[in-house]
Structure 1
């Protein structure tokens, strides 16, 4: 069976209408090209060879996801310096308008004016925000961001946040800064990318403490990650018990393996059942984004 057939077999066998993938990347071509070059060069934030599995043009990548049966996906953009986020938000708004199955995405950076452009994005119908603490190299509790976090908390817009210390630690990664952020803005809806790897247990702790904390499965349990940041078997039960707030994410197209593996590994978690998989692959995301 080809890859598309295998992917469709998984979700069809669960009786689902398709997939919701909360962690996919679409960016302006010059930005995506630079991101791919960074992976090709195994840059310092990557730390190891990382071939891009789906290195095709934008239109082909959209059609690939549709062929897999992805009903809704994201264009997770993120800045690495000031005066970049507002431009990325404009591009992402235009991309979502032209691509109805892409959730309107935005991002932010600690800089003057961030509250204004985040409020403009919310007023413009943004559905999800991406924050990359590792790449941005900033503290999420930076006072410059306080107003923007308040806007997002009030609007209930989910924020996919890369805050774990994988693949390599950053100055502000780990559960501590996120716990401090939630202490100030407890109503934030945060989707912890990559299950918070490698601090899996600590981010599950935050999900226990805050009703608005979700986790996405991006790259977790794949052989690529298990080699260096394995999910602790002692936490399987907690992950399954937290099934209402686990969301499927793939990191498409920037993954060094096939999309079918990203799905298949979840079906082999010890103790997993069809109900958990239905929630993770579709129902939780559909509910969170009101699809």
Structure 2
């Protein structure tokens, strides 16, 4: 119990036990094929153009150790956020993710897509196979969510009620199709889409909070928001904390584990110091995601 990660496990457990929770639900964690993750880590190591800052990976471990760490932290349910950066990649990633979910019962079966011929078919196949959440990365993928090749995909996911965690904000660096404009147009066409705005829409916090106020199925995850690291380049406006409180039933815990440059517990402390109360923390760190993903129509649905 003397290693830093062992001590951190105690700190994380103290956090959720104090709130009377059975553990945490983290909707934004990354698991992907080893060679893909190695390339992601290399990009962070090089301070690539989408980051531009020093970004040491805090949990650079092999896959089983990363899974074990989340369990030691008390994360009862997590995701395998993975995403393509080019065509002819998403279907392969979905096959890997289906296998990962089958051998990792506390991971929500995650899938992804890209604007390409055949996208509707492989997304429909993933939903049939039990995918519980999708990931769309507009920054890395450099695609417009309103691309006609995705019309049927968004419609299918909206009708199925499957949440899509979407990196659509312009942080840490803007992309061609990031920002509230493209996503707002998407939601105008698919107002029932269960879109989860990753990183709280950083740095366009206000605009994405407004979209959540306008569309009742929009949620936002906390990934990296409010942390000392992000506050340096994308500070959350203090005057908007009231909106966070008002949308307390649609804010979800996300962390970006393992690709974070600080300890996991820091994300929890950053939420706590917002001083929005224990009920808000309980909802954000467990109850909101548990309600979103508790679906008895899925035979693999588990207790949160």
Scaled by the length of structure 1, the TM-score of the pair is: 0.99
CA distance in 2, matches of 1:222, 1:98: 32
Match among 248, 268, 273 for residue 268 of structure 1: 273
User: Which residue is 1:99 aligned to?
Assistant: 104
Match among 135, 150, 161 for residue 145 of structure 1: 150
Residue 2 of structure 1: how far off its partner (Å): 1.6
Extract unaligned runs of 5+ from structure 1. Answer: none
2:204 counterpart of 1:163: no
Superposed counterparts of 1:16-31, under 5 Å = 16-31=21-36
User: Which residue is 2:194 aligned to?
Assistant: 189
SS at match of 1:160: strand
Q: What are the Cα deviations for residues 70-106 of structure 1, in whole angstroms up to 9, with x where unaligned?
A: 0000000100000000000000000000000000000
Residue 11 of structure 1: how far off its partner (Å): 0.2
CA distance in 2, matches of 1:10, 1:35: 30
Q: What are the Cα deviations for residues 264-286 of structure 1, in whole angstroms up to 9, with x where unaligned?
A: 1100104x111000000000010
User: Which residue is 1:200 aligned to?
Assistant: 205
CA distance in 2, matches of 1:124, 1:151: 14
2:77 counterpart of 1:72: yes
SS at match of 2:15: helix
Extract unaligned runs of 5+ from structure 2. Answer: 1-5, 295-303
User: Which residue is 2:18 aligned to?
Assistant: 13
Residue 8 of structure 1: how far off its partner (Å): 0.4
2:284 counterpart of 1:280: yes
User: Which residue is 1:82 aligned to?
Assistant: 87
Aligned residues: 290
SS at match of 1:103: coil
2:39 counterpart of 1:34: yes
